[in-house]
Amino acid sequence: MTEHQLRTELDTLLTELRSLGIETVAPAGGTASRLSIRPVSMDRRLATRIAAAMRLASSSLERTEPPSAPGNCSGDLSARQKEILSWVALGKSNSVIASILEISPHTVDTHLRRAFERLGTTDRTVAAIRGIEAGLIAPGGLHAA
Query: Residue-wise over 37-68: b if at least 16 C-beta within 10 A, else e?
Result: beeeeeeeeeeeebeebeebbeeeeeeeeeee
Share of the chain above pLDDT 90, in %: 26
Domain ranges of the chain: 3-61, 79-133
List the CATH code of the domain at 79-133: 1.10.10.10
Per the CB < 8 A criterion, the answer to whether 133 and 66 are in contact is yes
Q: Render pLDDT for 21-71 as a digit per residue (tens, 0 to 9).
A: 666 555 555 444 445 555 455 566 766 777 777 667 666 655 544 544 444
pTM attached to this predicted model? 0.48
Residue type, 28: A
Out of 8-22, 36-50, 81-95, 97-111, least confident range: 36-50
pLDDT at 115 over 90: yes
CA distance 12 to 145: 40
